[in-house]
Amino acid sequence: MNISSKLPSSGQTIFSVMSALATEHKAINLGQGFPDFDSDPVLRELITKHLNEGKNQYCPMPGLLALRQTLSEKIERCYGTRIDPATELCVTAGATQALFTAINAFVHKGDEVIILEPAYDCYKPEVLIAGGVPRPYSMVYPDYAIDWNKIADMVNDKTRMIIVNTPHNPSGTLLHQDDMLALEQIVKGKNIVVLSDEVYEHLIYDKQEHQSVMRFPTLFEQSIAVFSFGKTLHTTGWKMGYVVGPELLINEFKNIHQWNVFCVNSFLQFAIADYLKDPSTYEQLPAFFEEKRDRLTKLLADVPLKPLLSKGTYFQLYNYEEVSNEDDVSFAKYLTKEIGVAAIPMSPFYSDPISDKTVRLCFAKKNETMEAAAERLAKLAKT
């Protein structure tokens, strides 16, 4: 049989490659972004309750109404925006399915999609599957700032979407109010959808405020915001998330969603609907993760790796210029195999080669995991 691949050169994600290498070499995995601690026991009790009460059948296509109502209240509390739970929200199988569905709903063959790089690895293949043309824009170490005039210059009649991500994986940087206003000016009056990946909305430090597209009414008219319960509830394996947008866009999103997955896990939706009614469940997250960020920074203070203090997400970049001249993929492999700590290199997040000497470490880890990793990293010496 002769099958022609839609993604002939995509290969395995860097996360799978580095995690497999970490297992093979018994390395402590500070590479792939997942917590090594459990979720709240209150949440687990709610899940057991709803599971045992038989909430195991299909729920409505856009998600359980009770969950959409809880989310609408949460959004109003966080961002001051009123979202109609009946028409402006849809529950998804994680952020990845949400991104896939949004891209396939709005990007037609030949449409251009501006992707700000370094970019989470699923954006580009999802655009290619939709027949779109990725147009990368490079943000660079150490400030990863965006020159919005250059983005405006990239926009043309074929531009159908701009994908943004704040707090930003992998750099740990944030978009600010002036970024969002510049973006609003660029897309205003044009047939461009802003796909705003906000999965780390609550992982934000030093008293900064998350700049959701929902805070900007004009921008929000053209936006789909994407969220993940995996990040908010320490449960990346559940693959549960949701999207929020104006009715016009959410209708078209649902048009694709119904043929893609129809509806997602029911008993988890009942449990999350109850759990997130208590705002303290998500309002304690910035302090919880800021303490972890500071702990990792302190533990590695005497190691010759230079941190770029994370402003959001559970990732922190480390520059290794003082230790090695190797490229970042080779250095991440060396760290995993020889030092016993897995890290993620930056170059797979870019379309074009980069010369940055930085790797990403994840601090969503138990204190003892970070302490053990620091003990191993102490073996690194300046060249």
Ligand X SMILES: Cc1ncc(COP(=O)(O)O)c(C=O)c1O
Residues at the contact surface with ligand X, assessed by CB under 6 A: 33, 94-96, 120, 165, 169, 197, 199, 228, 230, 236, 239, 241
- 3-class SS of residue 101: helix
Give the nearest distance from C-beta 239 to ligand X in angstroms.
6
Q: Judged by CB, which is closer to ligand X: 100, or 220?
A: 100
End-to-end CA distance of the chain: 53
Q: Judged by CB, which is closer to ligand X: 204, or 380?
A: 204
Residue type, 260: N
Q: Judged by CB, which is closer to ligand X: 30, or 339?
A: 30
> Length of the chain in residues, anyone?
383
Give the nearest distance from C-beta 277 to ligand X in angstroms.
21
Give the nearest distance from C-beta 304 to ligand X in angstroms.
28
Q: Where are the beta strands (DSSP E) in the chain?
A: 28-29, 89-92, 112-117, 133-138, 159-165, 193-197, 223-228, 241-244, 306-308, 315-319, 341-342, 344-345, 358-362
State how far Cα 355 lies from the chain centre: 24
Give the nearest distance from C-beta 378 to ligand X in angstroms.
28
Q: Judged by CB, which is closer to ligand X: 8, or 237?
A: 237
> Under the phi-then-psi rule, with left for phi > 0, alpha for psi from -120 to 50, and beta for the rest, what region is 159?
beta
- 3-class SS of residue 321: coil
Residue labelled with tokens 């690895």: 121
Calculate the alpha carbon distances from 6 to 9, 96, 107, 112, 132 in Å: 9, 18, 16, 17, 12
- Is residue 365 within 8 Å of residue 299, measured between CB atoms? no
Give the nearest distance from C-beta 290 to ligand X in angstroms.
18
Give the nearest distance from C-beta 362 to ligand X in angstroms.
10
Residue 366's contacts (CB-CB under 8 Å, 6 or more residues apart) are 36, 37
Separation between Cα atoms, residue 269 and residue 226, nearest integer Å: 17
Q: Judged by CB, which is closer to ligand X: 85, or 167?
A: 167
Give the nearest distance from C-beta 312 to ligand X in angstroms.
11
Q: Judged by CB, which is closer to ligand X: 19, or 165?
A: 165
> How many CB atoms sit inside 10 A of residue 73's CB?
16
Q: Judged by CB, which is closer to ligand X: 113, or 377?
A: 113
Rg (CA), the chain: 21
Q: Judged by CB, which is closer to ligand X: 94, or 132?
A: 94
Give the nearest distance from C-beta 302 to ligand X in angstroms.
30
Q: Judged by CB, which is closer to ligand X: 324, or 347?
A: 347
The token pair that represents 359 in the structure block: 């790797």
Give the nearest distance from C-beta 303 to ligand X in angstroms.
25
Residue type, 329: V
